[in-house]
Amino acid sequence: MEINKKIKKLLSNEDKKNPLTDQQLALKLNVSREKVTVTRQKLNIKSSKERLKPFLVEEIRSIIKKQSNISIRELTKVIQQKGYNASRYLIDQEIKKIKSPFYKKEKEIENKEIKNKKNGSNIEDPFQTVIGYNGTLKPQIQQAKAAVLYPPYGLHTLITGESGVGKSYLARKMFEFAAQNRKISENKFVVFNCADYADNPQLLYSHLFGHVKGAFTGASNDKDGLLSKANNSILFLDEVHRLSPEGQEMLFNVIDNGKYRRLGETETEHKVNLMIIAATTEDIESSLLATFRRRIPLIIELPSLKKRELQEKLDFIKLFIARESKQIKRKIILKYEAVRALLAYTPVNNIGQLESNLKVICAKAYLFFVTEVKSQVEISLDILPSEIRRSFLNESVDREEIRNLLRDDIKVEPALDRNLITSQEKNIYNVTEDIYKYIEEKNQELSGIGIPQEKINTELTFRIEEKISRLFDMTKEDFYKNKNMLKGVIGEKIYNLINEVMVMLQEELPELVLNSQLQYALAIHLDAVWQRIKSGKLIKYPDLENIKKKHPQNYAVAEKVINFINKRSDITIPRDEIGYITMYLNTVTGPDERENDQSEIAIIIVSHGMVASSMLKVANYLLGGSKVKAVNMSFNEAPNKVLKKLIALVKKIEHSKGILLLVDMGSLTGFAEIIEEKTGIKTRAVARVDTVMLMEAIRWSKLKDISLNELVARINQSNSTNLYNKKKHKVLLIYCMTGEGVALKVKDYLLHRLFNLEREYEIITTGIYNKDLEEFIADIEAAKELVGLIGNLRPQSFNSNIFFSVDEIFSEEGLERFKERVGVQEFKQEDIKIDKLIDKNIIFPLLKVNSKDEVITLLAEKLKEKGVVKDGFLDAVKKREEWGVTYIGSGIAIPHADSQYVNYSQAALAIMENSLDWSGYKVEVICMFAIKDLGVECFKEFYKILKENIELIKFTKDINLIKEALLNG
């Protein structure tokens, strides 16, 4: 029986008061929870909570009809006694809806939309462009519409959700909806970021409410504030959690009475009619005053990207790539495997980060196109960042659902806009500017990791030639035969100057007569130079003296060109430009040589078994294809037979730059000499091939000027000592000004969050109150590679890019920056092991306490002392207890809080000497979980061991024995 039939059958017989959760269904069907969730959604079956609600609401209505003043606590007790599996929090939410007139308004809107749809209304709903309009966000959009239409001026609303989920975007759509429905008379969406004045109440008050002359020093005139601007419209308060308590209190009178006073006014009150929309990423219970929360009647919670439907995630990907496609005026091809990886990837900062990532990815794809690495703007698996490439393997996604969404590559076309310049113009213009950017960035990157300048110059010269060749290839297009179009792009001044330059060049180099390609290429290049100089950007050529020695004639002509331009123009072009002009001249004065250099070195990979073809398949998959040939040898195949195959193959393939054999065993390297002797074709061999070597060989073989011997030298050098990585032992230094205690706490935190960190880096912790920090760092750097420094004071002479303050490391943003800069993101992060959860210093056997609150406070404070949790954890745990009791049976309670208050996963354990009342249940063991990176399976395993060993744990004072029981059962 298919899974959808099985699910339908199980749900048809479920207890309506206790609907089966996806996890329970998964256990019954022996499949993953994700599989059940996806199948249920495809069948349009609601979640267990949504299936429960109709019955629960009916039960609540029945009870409050008889007992209208019943408390939430008593109501919850009655409901649960009737057999409903419903928390106090859920019951509280539903009874608020039942009693709220806003709930009726939401239903009215839903009915009106259904009616309009039946009547074929053509009114365009601003929300229809929101991804998830009829999907994941349908309830939130219905709430938003109801809030806007609520009389008289709309219902003040708080939008919550993680960073990057689209809170500001939803607020903007609410404004557009209000304007469309004439709920606002002033078409102004007034935005105020509360973070800007969070620490200055006076400026905050002035900015929001305005001030009168003389209200404070510098107030020379009366000034209206944002409230006045937002009158008869909407005021959006972004990052409202950054408002101080005083700032929140300032808004009370506005929300309650629609009145306010400007700063400095004592009697006059101003009337204002407006709707306030606020947004926050924080937990509102801990970040906003209770009195402020009560004044905001509607809370709309936006889900994270991970909780959105996969189709919606694909829509976001298409949308963001379409924007970039419009920007570069070119079609972008999104390869099938790349889409799969992107769908599996869950960015930390949700939709915002996904958009940012795709901008970078599209830029990289465009660069590969411009530099002719690829023939089209193509997002393939190999150009995705490593964390995205790995996501399809690591994330728990439903591959079948991805297959149902995708069958092939996705082609994204740019939106047509005739007012924009053509894609051809922009591509050519950007090629020239990209030469400079590439040189600056690559030079800085390579010199920063210790590559000799000579090698850097050689590499950059290759790249400049490739880019200039690309520019000349573009000038073959018919577009550039239209001189008026060229003049429109670069301006008449530069156009006329280049015409004069061409006259001079033709006198020096007669072969350039009528060479329009050079004219167009130089025109575009000179315009980019002009703009760069005006903006104050330096122009450098990586190896000017070497160019002068290799191409003396063209160098001398280029020098005359620069001198000529400097005399005829109002800016001075630096001498480094002589190098670039020389390269342009080289390109057109030696076309035959340039064409011949386009061929690549032929590569053949030879290995025993089926390894050669397998390695080539992987390399082609990651690099997007190659001309490499693979020869598989069986283990009992005679070498002479293989040699004959190779000779026949060598004669067939293009070999103008020679043949490279990559072989698995050293004995096969002798084939190269025999092949060259038999065929007369230059052949070289490198042994101990692996996939990485093959990929490097393929990439390097595409370099225009590389010879066969140079390619072999590069591969051998890469095998012995990696050019791009220092081999010194890598070190992280963590220090504290007053002693080693804080440094050890930071180390403990990092090892819990980044489980493989200690395998890759030596971690040194120290106090520096009695040390010269600069000297201490210098001693480390003399023998080792210092890749990161964490402390509470930055050394003046130290590289700030790899310094991290202690406070920064304990923030999620800071940890992400640390991972990126130090390279930790390359590590495979596995689920935390149970031994990481247990610390004997936070196990308390036979504890004597008098109340639930007392033991919660004790355990939370111990976790705080150890650095496991942040400020606010204790309050969050207590708040969680108010929503629903955390007793889980067998005399065990597991109080906990949201992961935003946790630095790393840890469990604190208290074993009561006498059982403790836990909201009506008897509890002997309290396990307080601080959950950050904890895997579900790890939690289940820990709880299973705890439950199985509960009798031993309850009656022993030996902490080591308790820890041993929890670790090994």
* Span 370-390, pLDDT tens digits: 666 677 889 988 888 878 877
Whole-angstrom Cα distance, residue 296 to residue 156?
Answer: 5
- Of 251 and 829, more confident: 251
In this prediction, residue 445 carries a pLDDT of 62
* Residue 274: pLDDT band with limits 50, 70, 90: very high
Mean pLDDT of 3-10: 83
In this prediction, residue 963 carries a pLDDT of 76
In this prediction, residue 430 carries a pLDDT of 45
In this prediction, residue 156 carries a pLDDT of 92
Whole-angstrom Cα distance, residue 630 to residue 662?
Answer: 10
As a whole number, the mean pLDDT across the chain is: 77
Q: Which stretch of 257-261, 696-700, 934-938 has the lowest confidence by average pLDDT?
A: 934-938
**Please, what sign has the CA dihedral across residues 515, 517, 523, 525?**
negative
Reply yes or no on whether the pLDDT at 569 is more than 70.
yes
Reply yes or no on whether the pLDDT at 612 is more than 60.
yes
Mean pLDDT of 10-25: 86
Q: What is the pLDDT of residues 811-823, one digit of tens each?
A: 777 777 787 777 6
Question: Residue for token digits 């249920």?
Answer: 40
- Of 172 and 670, more confident: 172
* Residue 143: pLDDT band with limits 50, 70, 90: confident
Pair of tokens at residue 518: 């050079």
Phi, psi of 411 (to 5 degrees): -105, 120
- Of 202 and 467, more confident: 202
Q: Which stretch of 100-104, 642-646, 883-887 has the lowest confidence by average pLDDT?
A: 100-104
Q: What is the largest CA-CA distance in the chain?
A: 105
In this prediction, residue 191 carries a pLDDT of 92
Reply yes or no on whether the pLDDT at 275 is more than 90.
yes
Q: Model pTM?
A: 0.41
Reply yes or no on whether the pLDDT at 433 is more than 50.
no
Q: Letter for the amino acid at 897?
A: A
Q: What is the pLDDT of residues 892-907, one digit of tens each?
A: 888 887 777 888 778 8
Whole-angstrom Cα distance, residue 697 to residue 600?
Answer: 11
Q: What SS3 string covers 318-370? A: HHHHHHHHHHHCCCEEECHHHHHHHHHCCCCCHHHHHHHHHHHHHHHHHHHHH
In this prediction, residue 69 carries a pLDDT of 78
Distances (CA, A) of 572 to 500, 539, 754: 17, 12, 53
List the one residue out of 767, 766, 777, 779 whose CA is nearest residue 799: 777
Reply yes or no on whether the pLDDT at 235 is more than 90.
yes
Burial of 57 from C-beta contacts in 10 A (0-12 / 13-18 / 19+) = middle
In this prediction, residue 476 carries a pLDDT of 44
Greatest mean pLDDT among 153-157, 473-477, 952-956 lies in 153-157
Q: Which stretch of 18-27, 205-214, 807-816, 936-945 has the lowest confidence by average pLDDT?
A: 936-945
Reply yes or no on whether the pLDDT at 793 is more than 70.
yes
In this prediction, residue 444 carries a pLDDT of 67
In this prediction, residue 800 carries a pLDDT of 64
Residues in the chain: 969
Reply yes or no on whether the pLDDT at 424 is more than 60.
no
Mean pLDDT of 552-577: 85
Please tell me whether residue 774 adopts helix, strand or coil conformation: helix
List the one residue out of 552, 501, 506, 539 whose CA is nearest residue 522: 501
Q: What is the pLDDT of residues 310-337, one digit of tens each?
A: 889 999 999 888 888 887 778 899 988 8
Greatest mean pLDDT among 252-256, 360-364, 608-612, 821-825 lies in 252-256
Reply yes or no on whether the pLDDT at 680 is more than 50.
yes
Whole-angstrom Cα distance, residue 748 to residue 414?
Answer: 50
The count of other CB atoms within 10 Å of the CB of residue 222 is 14
In this prediction, residue 455 carries a pLDDT of 65
Q: Which stretch of 240-249, 263-272, 396-405 has the lowest confidence by average pLDDT?
A: 396-405
Mean pLDDT of 334-362: 87
Whole-angstrom Cα distance, residue 4 to residue 258?
Answer: 54
- Of 437 and 767, more confident: 767
Q: What is the pLDDT of residues 79-101, one digit of tens each?
A: 888 888 888 777 877 777 666 65
**Cis preceding-peptide flag for 152 (omega within 30 of 0):** yes
Specify whether the CB–CB gap between 713 and 455 falls below 8 A: no
List the one residue out of 783, 749, 746 whose CA is nearest residue 766: 746
Mean pLDDT of 746-775: 74
Reply yes or no on whether the pLDDT at 249 is more than 80.
yes
In this prediction, residue 159 carries a pLDDT of 95
Strand partners, 766: 735
Helices (H), 449-515: 453-474, 483-490, 492-508
In this prediction, residue 442 carries a pLDDT of 64
Reply yes or no on whether the pLDDT at 626 is more than 90.
no
